[in-house]
Structure 1
């Protein structure tokens, strides 16, 4: 996610770009056959871009006529680079695109619709596929996914007299209290109290309460009874002194998990590898579990999709590379080299996933019931408002009812 101070600049750039596109339109030129000799240009993000370059070379061995040229782009600059590239007509043929970026570029008519005869919705986790769907059309093929599940210290839970993973919100409260009161931990859990990305920890509470970000008519649903309930449950951990009320933007919960100061938290699957690398002494002393349920145990899906740009003249080649990257075999290979969970459900039967750490099992279960973050054109601005809402209940002690009403009003004009 982009730092909050950059939201206004990004919004201004997007508005200007929308005017440009409405004036000049878009559309690809003459198309090149997948059988012709050609170079396919691809943007990959961060470390994944570097891995993707190697995969491109492997693809080229099977398709000698298609040379894949991958340009790695940092996640911190990719939004502005994409906006500038659309305005200048200098986009690559295809790119990796973060799930929360999809809505903006769909709105700008920059993306080619997915060929749904080639790519089948049923092959992918539903929430991952739906994150790229607008007005009944899909614009991205899910590449890898992440979701949120619960991490907890089993050794300290044993010390506190708790033998099972928490299955409900009530269980989660009791475990947090037991950690602090009986196991002597500094905190009972860690819920991100503020700063960019706090919405990522709160949203599972909203979804598990039965709530949603938008209602059936496409309007904000942030003042619903379910939203109030989710804010109230989230706020409890701060009000009861069970979670720290402040943390720096670069706070690393894995360190406090290692010391036992924060023996429980909600996060994504990449943390399994981080714990293995940074806190090897925790082997056999922690576990993961699906999120404790309010009305249900429901998380949200993030990750990245593969998109082809409307102006590309190599759409057939882009389709071939996308097929290669999203097939079950290659998805298993991608997990092996990048440790990113497959979006293709069949890939979880591959040896690479069967031999993965057992802590990833909870994420596979969670993905099957996870909900979509809707593809909103102004997602970055809405996310900043959600972050502020979290801070209001965690740090300012504002009532959940008042915060829900504020969030609803703040979302007007950003949703729809």
Structure 2
């Protein structure tokens, strides 16, 4: 999945920032004279240098403990990092380590070390199970989760009070009723914001499919986008929210996630599906935010969508041992918590998650932490997912638009996904 799935594709500064801790030499297997090249994404959407400082501090500490290994870190904007790594690999100059949005194409091309070739057993076994599963291709883990996120229903408490609503919705029916009360009793623009525009429609879609008991794949991992459960979910959305004019002045198929989030921080949205980074932005803007598990048909949804960004080790330079030492160091609780905490994201390991739960500084992330272990991630282990995701972004809005047909739209998307899957 692209980093935009975590909500941070907004303009980021300092393209091509570099933390260079240079050295030279070839691998001896023991770390003597080895320089690891690491390309990482910039998470600092405010234009600061928090990502640069994190990697500088981390690599300095690592080098102090491993004097035979140097680390050269190149930081790129999320707008560019996946493309830059792809260009490096194509040119035969793959980095040793890349922290980017997707791993599947490189794993399929046999360019990556598997997790068990790099990591110690305690580190490999410490990842949260849904993140481990999502990092696997053909039952072998190649993608290591770097940071994670998940989704909850956000609502504006002040608008709820103004509308006479006493509590958060737990079912779809209650959500529609609350949206109607917001429409009738306040001047809010978007009673419920439904961003099915091309920026991140694949995420919003997945949240609704899961809350309706479906999903992108079946129990065998095959695409099932056109399942009856999924069709029923989108028919409910169309009939009960969109056609009742409860989704605001911009058609869902034209509404992008970043615009919906910005409207929420302005107080123009009653409810939407949000993630931890939006929570911070909304609270800074003075919005009193309520957050609960996503509503389902008859009660809170059994599961929600999880998201992860990935880090991986490339085979090309033969630095397997040194890469493993660095990654074992990276995934210590201290380092995992430092990065997740400074970016309002969730730690990817069991032990770090337990530590964050106990930290009062992160009390506002409690609900996210509770649902992450049971979350479902998109099928990022499929090389066909990239094309399927783009197809969803471009077309899913048609399902709820004027004259749209959920069955027809989902069938078309599903057929294309299955065709791409069969070519894997």
Q: Taking structure 1 as the reference length, what is the TM-score of the superposition? A: 0.84
The 3 A distance-change label for structure 1 pair 357 and 182 is farther
Higher alpha-carbon deviation: 164-173 or 86-95: 164-173
Aligned to 1:241: 245
- Cα deviation per residue 1:50-88 (whole Å; 9 max; x = unaligned)? 232332223223323322111112222233323322222
Shift of 1:357: 4.5
Tell me how far apart the structure 1 counterparts of residues 124 and 230 of structure 2 sit (CA, whole Å).
30
- Cα deviation per residue 1:152-204 (whole Å; 9 max; x = unaligned)? 11122122232222222222222222222233422211110321311111101
CA contact (8 A) 1:104 1:378 kept: no
The one of 291, 294, 298 equivalent to 2:303 is 298
Please state whether the residue corresponding to 2:199 is helix, strand or coil: coil
Shift of 1:361: 1.6
Tell me how far apart the structure 1 counterparts of residues 160 and 30 of structure 2 sit (CA, whole Å).
57
- Cα deviation per residue 1:255-283 (whole Å; 9 max; x = unaligned)? 32234321211122111222244x1x22x
Tell me how far apart the structure 2 counterparts of residues 338 and 286 of structure 1 sit (CA, whole Å).
19
The 3 A distance-change label for structure 1 pair 162 and 403 is same
Aligned to 2:407: 401
Greater RCO (CA < 8 Å, at least 6 residues apart): 1
Question: What are the within-5 Å matches in structure 2 for residues 320-399 of structure 1?
Answer: 320-350=325-355, 354-374=359-379, 375-399=381-405
The 3 A distance-change label for structure 1 pair 372 and 264 is same
Aligned to 1:104: 105
The 3 A distance-change label for structure 1 pair 175 and 121 is farther
Aligned to 1:21: none
Higher alpha-carbon deviation: 148-157 or 213-222: 213-222
CA contact (8 A) 1:143 1:304 kept: yes
Tell me how far apart the structure 1 counterparts of residues 225 and 60 of structure 2 sit (CA, whole Å).
47
Tell me how far apart the structure 2 counterparts of residues 263 and 37 of structure 1 sit (CA, whole Å).
58
CA contact (8 A) 2:234 2:400 kept: no
CA contact (8 A) 1:93 1:312 kept: yes
CA contact (8 A) 2:196 2:205 kept: no
Aligned to 2:18: none
The 3 A distance-change label for structure 1 pair 288 and 32 is farther
- Cα deviation per residue 1:333-381 (whole Å; 9 max; x = unaligned)? 2223333311012213336972335331221122122112111213221
The answer for unaligned runs of 5 or more in structure 2 is: 5-25, 45-50
Please state whether the residue corresponding to 1:222 is helix, strand or coil: coil
The 3 A distance-change label for structure 1 pair 300 and 372 is same
Tell me how far apart the structure 2 counterparts of residues 312 and 340 of structure 1 sit (CA, whole Å).
32
Tell me how far apart the structure 1 counterparts of residues 123 and 338 of structure 2 sit (CA, whole Å).
21
Question: What are the within-5 Å matches in structure 2 for residues 120-159 of structure 1?
Answer: 122-159=125-162
Shift of 1:291: 1.3
The one of 256, 273, 276 equivalent to 1:269 is 276
Aligned to 1:27: none
Aligned to 1:311: 316
Tell me how far apart the structure 1 counterparts of residues 259 and 374 of structure 2 sit (CA, whole Å).
28
The 3 A distance-change label for structure 1 pair 248 and 202 is closer
Shift of 1:250: 7.9
CA RMSD, 1 decimal:
2.5
Aligned to 1:221: 224
Tell me how far apart the structure 2 counterparts of residues 217 and 255 of structure 1 sit (CA, whole Å).
38
Aligned to 2:172: 169
Shift of 1:139: 0.5
The 3 A distance-change label for structure 1 pair 207 and 121 is farther
The answer for unaligned runs of 5 or more in structure 1 is: 4-29
The 3 A distance-change label for structure 1 pair 412 and 35 is closer
Please state whether the residue corresponding to 1:371 is helix, strand or coil: coil
Number of corresponding residues: 384
The 3 A distance-change label for structure 1 pair 2 and 143 is closer
Please state whether the residue corresponding to 2:242 is helix, strand or coil: helix
The 3 A distance-change label for structure 1 pair 275 and 260 is closer
Aligned to 1:7: none
